[in-house]
Structure 1
Amino acid sequence: MTRRALVIDDDRLSREFLVEALRTSGYHVEEAATGEDGLAHGQRFEPDLVLTDLRLPGVDGIEVLRGLRARHPDLPVIVLTAFGTVERAVEAMRAGAQDFLLKPVSPEQIDVVLSRLTDRSKLVRENRALKASLENAPERRGGIIGHNDRFLDALRLAERVAPTDATVLVRGESGTGKELVAELLHNKSRHADGPFIRVNCAALTESLLTSELFGHEKGAFTGAHQRKEGRFELASGGTIFLDEIGEMPLEVEGRLLRVLETGEFERVGGTRTLKSDARIVAATNRNLEEAIAAGRFREDLFYRLNVVPVELPPLRERLDDIPMLVDHFLRKFSREHGSPAVRVAANALEVLRTSEWPGNVRELANTMERACLVAKGEVVELRDLGVPERRATKEPIARVGVTLEEMERHLILETLQSTGWNRTHAARILGVTARTLSNKLKVWRTRGLVATESQG
């Protein structure tokens, strides 16, 4: 986004020097010779930086400074003068001046000032972005965990495209980890040092979502008491994550399509065209193809968003990840809540491993947090889970898609449970030696496929 600067100085040579120095540094510059003209330019031009002389005919530099800052409190203003006194410098700084320089100003001084401003602007933008990202932010539970083949394929695809600027559409049911993948895309991209801004497209009405995304000018609508930067402005140089994109009102979709195609937009009630170079990542748990057929989602927007689709499988299709996830959540919540629980009873783990989990990883995390809170000792028992029996998977273990190893493990654990974990008795029923049974349990424990202690 091109930076804009305003130079106010009645000394023509000084003014021309400052204008040229700023243009050399990449600024689009306008100039004024009087305080009155400077205030008029500031209102029309909306600069990102102002350099003003202290002594001006008519309205002096201090009045210009106060007038500009009254309209734009965050606007950096540099005051220059050939007649510097400590008192005037203090007055200028109290009025909100970013810096106070004595004339004649050297190119090196200009470079130092611009460098400080760049650092300050970056800090201000990051602070705003952090505040924006914390507003209504959902609690994040754990990182990206799993070794399921389909899940790893999705992560590898995300990692391959992360360094590019390609728009990514993350698809999956609620609770499958779409936001974590969006953060992965951001952290491994060239935008990693910029902000990560999340917008829930389902949480706001059309008018509020438009204002949230693109910002608004003062007086644009009832209640717009001051100008507000939109999320696309805050996300410039970083990543904007559009969650639940399938819930976006059709009226907003056209504006979003323009940003995707050109990077351009206007604030609500504004006429100035702004640009954002934010990387766009969207997510949905909806079938967008069906929404297009029903006229509820724009087909052209879908193709712009779906440049790289990343599909996350539901937890019921990655049951082999459950022991690893259970161990992670057990450690996390025991530490957070001071729970004595350090392991899960084998029968409890088997129920966890064979449940349907319509809420996916988020629901499993909630279940493990509850279990850690109610567990009476070091072992999380079946009664601590609060998982209704009707939630367990009713499909037979011997079915297409289940490996022989999984069927063997299920049969051995069921037999152990039915014998009260008497390994000798269970081995006799299964037709194997007790040593063979113990060795299999040891291997599964090492691989995290059964609880650390098989017995509950």
Structure 2
Amino acid sequence: MSSEMILFVDDEEPLRHAAAQTLQLADFDVTCFADAESALPRIARDFPGILVTDIRMPGLSGTDLMARCLEIDPEFPVILVTGHGDIELAVQSMRDGAYDFLEKPYAPSRLVATIRRALDKRRLTLENRRLRAAVGRRDPIEARLTGRSPALIALRQQVRAVAQTDADVLIIGATGTGKEVTARALHRASGRKDGPFLQINCAALPTDLIESELFGHEAGAFAGAMRARYGKFEAARGGTVFLDEIDSLPLPLQAKLLHAIQNRTVTRLGSNEPVSLDVRFIAASKKDLEAEARAERFRADLLYRLNVVTLRLLPLAERREDIPLLFSQLVSESAARQQQSAPDVSGAVLARMAARDWPGNVRELRNAAERFVLGLDLDLASPDDTAPTVPEALAEQMAAYEKALITASLAAHQGRLKDTYEALNLSRKALYEKMQKHGLSRDAFAPEG
């Protein structure tokens, strides 16, 4: 069997069985899943294989699964399997980052040939990453948490330190600031990196099924429970559970979650036998949980159990110097998903990026990068829109904008001073003085390695 792996997802058992036989005869290592949720924990940035998934399935669809995979790794090859009426959807999915699609019924030889090409691409991608790492490129934490601001540097240091422990972590930050990205970076830098990373959006769980989803149930525990089922916590054993939007959990469930975290056990619905858990918990919230606890909307004892370590993520407006580098990276990732060369990002574009507040934070910036790669208008704010919402002296506003422009130009020219002062129409001496005034160093923008 090959060391490269194929994850095959289809809710129809005969198709799974036929595909498994075909791929095993072709000497592939294949694992089949009946639903997307079961396959998702296997996906990682360094996973040595590809995904083949049906589009239309109960629960998480194939296109949703693809989107989640591409969030983990924008270069991950996903092959979609479509019905006759789904061709338009499949074509759109190719634009969204799918590697290829197959229309049912497909010939086994075509399935094998398509998979071979996708595996070749995956092999090349992983080899290039290994080579870049060997010559001193950014470590995995810096690759995920991109930025040169003091806040980002401090966050990476915290993540590196906490990752070596099994301490539970609470991440606080506004929408779009990168809470999930931070949680994944922590997981990938920890001793649990080979285990599953199970993301649970607490706000999206059906109210009447939350307990069963998290803790599992025995057969006959309630109407419709025809057979026993693992809960999500058990499915994450050996890995990390990421509880996003934890503030949305109902108070009675918060008490049971507290018990599970304190004792590292769960009890399935319909059972009295505790099941041991070997997981790390990372929780995230956009709300101030201390204020929520004072208002009795969140259990104080659960907060104190979760915040052994608290990581606070700043909005982009408070770390503008990160915007040019981050936007450039998002453009490269978007181009990779579109399977096209990344367009050049001029200093003028980066300056406009750095001058805007980005209330949607990294999520909004990522959308702008997508539009930029597609050649669409960026829908940037007009100069009047970039004025700070909090009144500041004119001199302070001008200084902040000047720093943003110089930062953007340095990032665009990778720290090359001659290119920078020529682009800004400054003398060399004037650029040096302004960099010193704003605490900027060319080394922070030079290519690493």
Contact 1:206 1:251 in 2 (8 A): no
Alpha-carbon shift at residue 298 of structure 1 (Å): 0.3
User: How far apart are the structure 1 equivalents of 2:407 and 2:280?
Assistant: 45
Partner of 2:406: 409
1:323 and 1:412, CA in 2 relative to 1: closer, same or farther beyond 3 A?
closer
User: How far apart are the structure 1 equivalents of 2:423 and 2:186?
Assistant: 52
Partner of 2:304: 303
Q: Partner letter of residue 256 of structure 1? A: L
Which residues of 2 match residues 283-298 of structure 1 at below 5 A?
283-298=284-299
Partner of 1:182: 183
Q: Partner letter of residue 386 of structure 2? A: T
Partner of 2:268: 267
Residues 68-119 of structure 1, C-alpha deviation per residue, up to 9 Å, x if partnerless?
A: xxxxxxxxxxxxxxxxxxxxxxxxxxxxxxxxxxxxxxxxxxxxxxxxxxxx
Q: Partner letter of residue 409 of structure 1? A: I
Alpha-carbon shift at residue 166 of structure 1 (Å): 0.9
- The question of 1:389 aligning with 2:348 is answered no
Residues 202-260 of structure 1, C-alpha deviation per residue, up to 9 Å, x if partnerless?
A: 10133322111101112222322221101111111111111111111111101110011
Larger radius of gyration: 1
Contact 1:323 1:448 in 2 (8 A): no
Which 5+ residue runs of structure 2 have no aligned equivalent?
Answer: 1-31, 44-59, 75-142, 411-420
Q: Partner letter of residue 189 of structure 2? A: K
Contact 2:324 2:407 in 1 (8 A): no
Residues 317-365 of structure 1, C-alpha deviation per residue, up to 9 Å, x if partnerless?
A: 1110111112112222223325565223443322211111111111101
Q: Partner letter of residue 379 of structure 2? A: G
Of 266-275 and 135-144, more deviation after overlay is shown by 135-144
Partner of 1:30: none
Alpha-carbon shift at residue 133 of structure 1 (Å): 7.0
Alpha-carbon shift at residue 273 of structure 1 (Å): 1.5
Partner of 2:84: none
Alpha-carbon shift at residue 284 of structure 1 (Å): 0.9
Aligned length: 306
Q: Partner letter of residue 370 of structure 1? A: R
Which residues of 2 match residues 186-197 of structure 1 at below 5 A?
186-197=187-198
User: How far apart are the structure 2 equivalents of 1:329 and 1:407?
Assistant: 19
Please tell me the root mean square deviation across aligned C-alpha atoms, in Å.
Answer: 4.0
Contact 1:159 1:184 in 2 (8 A): no
Q: Indicate the SS of the match to 2:167.
A: coil
1:385 and 1:442, CA in 2 relative to 1: closer, same or farther beyond 3 A?
farther
Contact 1:214 1:231 in 2 (8 A): yes
Contact 1:198 1:240 in 2 (8 A): yes
Contact 2:321 2:407 in 1 (8 A): no
Q: Partner letter of residue 299 of structure 1? A: A
Partner of 2:336: 335
Q: Indicate the SS of the match to 1:197.
A: strand
Contact 1:129 1:196 in 2 (8 A): no
Contact 1:354 1:393 in 2 (8 A): yes
Contact 1:330 1:343 in 2 (8 A): no
Alpha-carbon shift at residue 389 of structure 1 (Å): 2.2
Q: Partner letter of residue 358 of structure 1? A: P
User: How far apart are the structure 2 equivalents of 1:441 and 1:263?
Assistant: 55
Alpha-carbon shift at residue 400 of structure 1 (Å): 8.3
Contact 1:129 1:235 in 2 (8 A): no
- The question of 1:315 aligning with 2:308 is answered no
Q: Partner letter of residue 171 of structure 1? A: I
- The question of 1:280 aligning with 2:277 is answered no
Contact 2:355 2:404 in 1 (8 A): no
Of 148-157 and 336-345, more deviation after overlay is shown by 336-345
Contact 1:398 1:407 in 2 (8 A): no
TM-score, normalised to structure 2, is 0.59
Q: Indicate the SS of the match to 2:396.
A: coil
The percentage of aligned residue pairs carrying the same residue is: 35
